């Protein structure tokens, strides 16, 4: 399959974009979004891998990942709402400082 290897490269790039976002972002929403990017990068890698090997396992696995991602987003957003109610902000650094005192 001619798209498989470029797709893996794209997945890697996407994954590191996500990682960078998780590490450097201060806002909880952006961190959650970056995690979604990482998850989808993993999903893309599964699909590309399955295409490369000509086997369906990877695609089936991605079908499992999708609901996991959805559930994770639900929980993550719920957490974000609760945190905002409690601290009146979504800035992770100031929340950490406030909790540490």
Partner 1 sequence: MDTMTSIYPSLWLIPGLPALAALLIFIFSGSIRPRSAGWIATTGVAMSFLWAIFSFIVYNNATSKGAVFFHQIGWKWLDAGFVQANAGLLLDRVSGIFALVITGVGFLIHLFSTSYMENEEGQRRYFGFLSLFVASMLILVLADNAFFMLIGWEGVGACSFALIGHHYEKRENVAAALKAFFVTRFGDVFLILGVLLLAMIGTVDFTRLETFGLADLNIVHPVFNLTFGQLLVIAGLLLLGGAAGKSAQLPLQTWLPDAMAGPTPVSALIHAATMVTAGVYLIARFHIVFALSPELMMVVAVIGVLTAFYGATCAIVQTDIKRILAFSTISQIGFMMLALGVGAFSIGLFHFFTHAFFKALLFLAAGSVIHALHGEQNIFKMGGLRKELPGVFLATVAGTIALAGIPLTSGFFSKDAILWSALTSDRGNILLYGVGLTTAVLTAIYSARLIYVVFLGAPRADYHLHAPSPRQTWPLYILAVFALFAGFLNVPGLLHWEHYFQPHFKGWASEPSHNLTGEIIAAAVSAVLAVAGWFVGSVLFSPKRMVEGRIIPEPAMDPMAIRIETASPYRFGVANFLYRAWDFDHLYATLVTRPYRKISKVLSWTDEYLVDGIYEAGSVILQLFHGFFVTLQNGRVGRYAAVMLFGAALIALLLTFFGSGNL
Q: Which span (5-13, 51-59, 66-74, 91-99) binds partner 1, by CB under 8 A?
A: 91-99
**Residue 23 contacts partner 1 per CB under 8 A:** yes
**Strand, helix or coil for residue 2:** coil
Q: Which of 22, 69, 73, 83 contacts partner 1 by CB under 8 A?
A: 22
- Which of 63, 98 has the CB closer to partner 1? 98
End-to-end Cα distance, the chain: 56
**Residue 26: how many CA atoms within 13 Å on its side-chain side?**
7
Number of residues in contact with partner 1 under rule CB under 8 A: 14
Cα–Cα dist 29/39, whole Å: 15
**Residue 66 contacts partner 1 per CB under 8 A:** no
What would the DSSP string read from start to end of 4-16? HHHHHHHHHHHHH
Q: Which runs of E-coded beta strand occur in the chain?
A: none
Q: Which span (15-23, 44-52, 65-73, 75-83) binds partner 1, by CB under 8 A?
A: 15-23
**Strand, helix or coil for residue 91:** strand
- Which of 4, 22 has the CB closer to partner 1? 22
Could you list the residues that contact partner 1 (CB under 8 A)?
19, 22-26, 31, 92-93, 95-97, 99-100
């Amino acid at each position: 399959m001619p798209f498989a290897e470029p797709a893996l490269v794209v997945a890697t790039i996407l994954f590191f974009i996500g990682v960078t976002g998780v590490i450097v972002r201060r806002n909880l929403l952006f961190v959650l979004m970056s995690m979604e990017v990482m998850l989808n990068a993993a999903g893309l890698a599964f699909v590309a891998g399955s295409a490369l090997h000509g086997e369906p396992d990877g695609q089936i696995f991605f079908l499992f990942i999708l609901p996991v991602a959805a559930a994770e987003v639900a929980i993550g957003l719920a957490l974000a709402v609760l945190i905002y109610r409690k601290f009146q902000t979504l800035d992770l650094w100031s929340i950490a400082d406030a909790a540490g005192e």
